Structure 1
Amino acid sequence: MSSDSSSLHSSAVINEAVQALRDGGLVAFPTETVYGLGADAKNPDAIKKIFTAKGRPSNHPLIVHLAAPDKFDRAQIDWVPVLAPWVRDLSEDALKLINTFWPGPLTLVFKKDKSVLNELTGGQDTVAIRAPAHPISQALLRQFQGGIVAPSANRFGKVSPTSAADVRDEFDDVLDLMILDGGDCEVGIESTIIDLSSSDRAVLLRPGLITPSEISTKTGIKVYLPGEDAVSKRDAALPRVSGSLRAHYAPTTPLRMYASGRILDALSEFPDIKSQVAVAVWDSDSSLGEDGHPSVHFEEVIVPSDSTVFTSRLYRTLRDLDQQGWDLILFPEPPPGEEWDGVRDRLQRACFGSGPSFSNHANS
């Protein structure tokens, strides 16, 4: 069942979705990052349905989505009562990040309140929370008046969905899944995740659109990377979060990255040389030209060299190429720089998990 875009915000459709969630069902809904597969965060049976539908390991934590409080005529929103049922303590830094970036593509990890279900935290004492910016997700959350847990609405480890049609493709066998259609996702990759659970510092657990330097510029908060001297001692204790497995976001077609001008090197990994190869090339580059190989049919796919546009189209491109029957997909390595870290992270995991033998990787 899917609502058509003309009635996007019709209260009837939102009410129907809210009722489905209250009844312990699943509802797929758009966020600015990717589509989520949502369930009532206070209902253990509904949460188990997510893991079953996705084929996701139950020790893999979920993100709780919350509505932004109504602002009315106040200069600053009061987030404390919104977070109080979920979080053990809110630092000044946490409130700075929240007031600067929420609603938006930033997930924060806190020590959890004791009432938060183990089913959604993967048995950890931390909980990941965000307030999505998409108007449909906000309308749904406001009306629901509670937390909705929602990993990406796709089979575990596969390419995340950025349109309602992608969700339908993934779950065509789940007959009673309600899908709210909010058009194409603007950001296109999952949120940035920052760990605040050890109170003394902010640690980046997953890169996304919001970068450490943007956080530093707007809030003065320094974000550490796992492994930086100051945090390496407690690295082992960093919480597990969504999207942190080595193989993830992956197409079924083998995917590899190539360094500038080194397409043949990427091909040499496949000694039984693949015959039909899709090669993504930057719109700023000249065509493949001399990189040809006698027994290979290359087709160029132009990808944008602007990081924001590239990010917003990454999953769409991977999903489309995966359905076109190529033997191999080659992507250029993203250039250095923080604004490319999110897509670099997704592409590395997608390469590792790609190909029909995905489950072998997942177990290794």
Structure 2
Amino acid sequence: MSSDSRSLQSSAVIDEAVQTLRNGGLVAIPTETVYGLAADAKNPEAIKKIFTAKGRPSNHPLIVHLAAPDKFDQAQVDWLPILTPWVRDLSEQALKLIEAFWPGPLTLVFKKDKSVLSELTGGQDTVAIRAPSHPIAQELLRKFKGGVVAPSANRFGKVSPTSATDVRNEFEGMLDLMVLDGGDCEVGIESTIIDLSSGDKAVLLRPGAITPSEIFAKTGVKVYQPGELDDGQLGNDLPKVSGSLKAHYAPTTPLRLYQPGRVLDALSEFPDIKSRVAVAVWDSESSLVLEDRPSTDVEEVIVSSDPTTFASRLYRSLRDLDQQGWDLILFPEPPTGEEWDGVRDRLQRACFGSGPSSSSHDSN
């Protein structure tokens, strides 16, 4: 995102977007993670429009986006008045995480206040909240003076949008959809989600750019993996959250991961249908030696071996490759290490959901 992205959208345009939200309409907004399809979080009819536009199951919860409080001169920003309309109780842990990482790509799950609409929580007694750091999103939220729900601005299960053009391509039919252009998304994958609703333990529900070790280093809060807690403690009571379905973020072209040095194996696994294959290779590795495979038209696509850069370009690459008519897209398996967990999670779900299916959209 360029530093002048704020000037991309005049305040008059943002005022119009605020009015659209107040009138129960939808607005596509830039955030630092991906573009979101925003609606007034207090308006059940507006929330239903999101599910309809995305083709998203209505039991799938949404994330509430809030403006950060104005700093002025305070050393310590007071989040309490902003959160109390949404959240039943705010622990010391929660405040530490908020002070360290908001606004930013961290979503926290709380026990919800009774006034929070069940339309946005998927009928659960928890609510997921974050404060996006993108200046346009913040300006919109400050002027709106309320919360907006904003799942990724794409058809359900498909690749998330990281530019205004992606959003327009995704919703060609919705000619009246207002799209705020905030440039390309900086982070490029959805926020990290931490569950704080079960009491004293913070649990990772979706990996993202902010990792458990970074959280521990900055706040002293230990984040548990769902599998680390014995069933007696939590059972299957972890809340459902966005992006936790097995198939998600998926291109229409079949996508597979290959292990280091095993490109040819991956190619030979799909001999029947594959004639044109796009193979993503790490920029740190020398060019692949692809043996003479007369039947295969293989093109190399260089991807960054830096996890932050890789994440910021992942959906862009998948979208572009999806539109180029390949028969198969091969990506390298990300290295181990939690800084890669977010992109590994997205890639695995994308593989699982990829390929033409009865639900895939004709426009793709």
Shorter-chain TM range is over 0.9
Letter in 2 for 1:41: A
Q: CA deviation at 1:288?
A: 1.4
Letter in 1 for 2:39: A
User: Does structure 1 retain, via aligned residues, the 8 Å contact 2:188–2:311?
Assistant: yes
Which residue is 1:188 aligned to?
188
Q: CA, structure 1 residues 140+285, in 2 after alignment: closer, same or farther (shift >3 Å)?
A: same
User: Does structure 1 retain, via aligned residues, the 8 Å contact 2:154–2:171?
Assistant: yes
Which residue is 1:119 aligned to?
119
User: Does structure 1 retain, via aligned residues, the 8 Å contact 2:198–2:234?
Assistant: no
Letter in 2 for 1:157: G
Which residue is 1:340 aligned to?
340
Which residue is 1:179 aligned to?
179
Distance (Å, rounded) in 1 between the aligned partners of 2:167 and 2:335: 30
User: Does structure 1 retain, via aligned residues, the 8 Å contact 2:196–2:202?
Assistant: yes
Map 1:1-364 onto structure 2 (within 5 A). 7-230=7-230, 233-357=233-357, 359=359
User: Does structure 1 retain, via aligned residues, the 8 Å contact 2:250–2:353?
Assistant: yes
Tell me the TM-score normalized by structure 2: 0.95
Distance (Å, rounded) in 2 between the aligned partners of 1:214 and 1:149: 27
CA RMSD of aligned residues (A): 1.5
User: Does structure 2 retain, via aligned residues, the 8 Å contact 1:284–1:305?
Assistant: yes
Distance (Å, rounded) in 2 between the aligned partners of 1:359 and 1:269: 25
Q: CA deviation at 1:62?
A: 0.2
Q: CA deviation at 1:270?
A: 2.1
Distance (Å, rounded) in 2 between the aligned partners of 1:245 and 1:327: 25
Q: CA, structure 1 residues 131+59, in 2 after alignment: closer, same or farther (shift >3 Å)?
A: same
Letter in 2 for 1:128: A
Distance (Å, rounded) in 2 between the aligned partners of 1:274 and 1:152: 31
Distance (Å, rounded) in 2 between the aligned partners of 1:99 and 1:265: 48
Q: CA, structure 1 residues 57+74, in 2 after alignment: closer, same or farther (shift >3 Å)?
A: same
Q: CA deviation at 1:295?
A: 1.4
Q: CA deviation at 1:357?
A: 1.7
Q: CA deviation at 1:273?
A: 4.1
Q: CA deviation at 1:309?
A: 0.5
Letter in 1 for 2:314: L
Letter in 1 for 2:263: I
Q: Gapped runs of 5+ residues in structure 1? A: none
User: Does structure 1 retain, via aligned residues, the 8 Å contact 2:65–2:130?
Assistant: yes
Distance (Å, rounded) in 2 between the aligned partners of 1:14 and 1:241: 29
Q: CA, structure 1 residues 341+315, in 2 after alignment: closer, same or farther (shift >3 Å)?
A: same
Q: CA deviation at 1:10?
A: 1.8
Q: CA, structure 1 residues 329+10, in 2 after alignment: closer, same or farther (shift >3 Å)?
A: same
Deviations 1:259-308 (A, max 9, x none): 01111322344241400000000001111114553311110000011111
- How many residue pairs are counted as aligned between the two chains? 357
Deviations 1:161-210 (A, max 9, x none): 00000000000111111000000000000000000001110000000000
Q: Gapped runs of 5+ residues in structure 2? A: none
Tell me the TM-score normalized by structure 1: 0.95
Q: CA, structure 1 residues 231+10, in 2 after alignment: closer, same or farther (shift >3 Å)?
A: farther
User: Does structure 2 retain, via aligned residues, the 8 Å contact 1:251–1:350?
Assistant: yes
Which secondary structure does the structure 2 equivalent of 1:136 belong to?
Answer: helix
